Amino acid sequence: MPHQRFPKIQILDLASHEMRFILSDTDTSMANTLRRIMIAEVPTLAIDLVEFHENSTVLNDEYIAHRLGLIPIRFQAPDSLRGGDCNVAFLPHRDCVCFDRCPRCSVEFELDINYDEVNAKRPEGERDMPITVTSKDLHSNNPSVVPAHFLNDEEDDEAQDEGVSIVKIGLGQKLKIKAVARMGISKEHAKWCPVAVATYRFWPIVTINEEQCATLTLEQKQELVDACPDRIIELDEVTGKLVEAENSWDIATFTEDLMTTQQFMKQRPEDDDFVTVVQATDRFIFHVETTGAMDAEEILMSSLRVLKEKLNYLAQEVENLKDL
């Protein structure tokens, strides 16, 4: 009978575009499952079809279509819907009963830029300069679905463009398209991936052998502290003892420098280490950064829902096998 676990999540840092949290009381298989779901199976919206009516820019149709597909599309859920999960408001295209497309499975965007018309309205000093076509030039037929022009307010303040750049146009050039966004998952195509970074690392367990450390001089203890690039141990100036540094769990990277230095300090090779750093098998530090299509908290909640659905499906299939 396997050991029953009750996983817990502790939020360390939370912002709209990134978060850090601790997953504990579980094992590596669950941590890796959660990470892979966030990367590959959280449903999001992305531009999947582009119809070109006119394109006289320097980029061909396929290149522009590819760039449009990589623009994060954000679903801003009304208060009547939970969170920002587009899975609540949209169906995958293949599951919809419509013939081609409908508001239940797709969102249409239009982009119509004529350089000569825009240039005529510009101030005298800015005329005849190239125009950057950005995601803000995409107009949606659904007010709840818009491109994510910037990752956060800081990026918005520092940016020189009005959004995600698509193409630059010059004198006499035009771009008129209609784009259709559909719901999908990254397992099908990377453009539906809601995360830019989704990683975890093992919680470090730092153990200081007081008996062994008592055989060291202050100079040797300081040498041990200096040998560790992460500075996960410190020398207490009052007691002269080695102590674990504050927030060592956040900086430890399991380097071998500390271990190598200890080997030269031991009186006998078989003696115990002065300091050991091992990986916990039931505690993990996650770091998640978004592309802007969803908030970090929404990605975590959506991934947990996907995991729950998978486990429920598995449980039902096991029950069906028992009935055979």
Residue range 151-178, pLDDT digits in tens: 877 777 777 778 899 999 999 999 999 9
Domain that holds residue 75: 44-188
User: What is the reported pTM?
Assistant: 0.84
**91 inside domain:** yes
Q: Which of 13-17, 143-147, 249-253 has the lowest mean pLDDT?
A: 249-253
- Cα–Cα distance list, 92 to 11, 62, 157, 278, 287 (Å): 31, 24, 35, 44, 28
- Cα dihedral sign, 300-306-311-315: positive
Looking at residue 252, what is its pLDDT? 77
| Mean pLDDT taken over the chain | 88
Q: What are phi and psi of 265, to 5 degrees?
A: -85, -20
**159 inside domain:** yes
**21 inside domain:** no
pLDDT digits (tens, 9 = 90+) for 38-67: 999 999 999 999 999 999 999 999 999 999
pLDDT digits (tens, 9 = 90+) for 141-157: 998 899 998 887 777 77
**289 inside domain:** no
**275 inside domain:** no
**16 inside domain:** no
- Cα–Cα distance list, 266 to 73, 220, 261, 262 (Å): 59, 11, 9, 6
**132 inside domain:** yes
**165 inside domain:** yes
Nearest to 208, CA basis, from 193, 225, 192:
225
What's 124's domain CATH number?
Answer: 2.170.120.12
Number of domains in the chain: 1
Pair type for strands 73-75 and 165-169? unpaired
